[in-house]
Amino acid sequence: MAIYVQIVDGEVKQVWDSAPPEGQEGWKSAVELRAELVPNRQYHSAHRYDLTTDPVQIIWDAVDISVEDRKASMKSNASFEVMRMNMQNEFTPGTHTAEAIAAAQATADAKIAAIEPATTHDELDALV
């Protein structure tokens, strides 16, 4: 896919993924460079531009996810099923029995108890 950026006064003003509009100055070809990510341990940062290259580079760096942030996300995901069941019961009473919700809560509690003592990504990986 072709990408074009319009540069005005040394700043990117527009980005297009098709031919840029005619009659406007400052358009250059661009390419995206995305850092390879370690799954579950990194995400892409906001992009930045390198205007000194031809084509212009749109760069997406990797950002590390802390163990604590990953633990918080995993605990939230573990609790999601219980929340979903409770919401369904709120909108459609009787969708889930109290026993089913209690079982889901016990499962979530067990997952959270396993996540809590982890101190490394390797320990968290072993739980997935």
Scan for tokens 């739980």, then name that residue: 127
Give the pLDDT of residue 87: 94
Going by their DSSP bridges, the two strands 56-60 and 27-34 should be labelled as parallel
Same domain, 41 and 29: yes
Tell me which of 64, 81, 112 is where a domain ends: 64
Tell me which of 39, 64, 89 is where a domain ends: 64
Give per-residue pLDDT as tens, 22-67: 899 999 999 999 999 999 999 999 999 999 999 999 999 999 999 9
Same domain, 51 and 83: no
Give the pLDDT of residue 71: 98
Same domain, 28 and 58: yes
Of 17, 39, 40, 38, nearest to 27 by C-alpha is 17
Residue 128 in this model has a pLDDT that exceeds 90: no
pTM passes above 0.85: no
CB contact at 8 A, 30 and 1: no
Query: What's the number of domains the chain is made of?
Result: 2
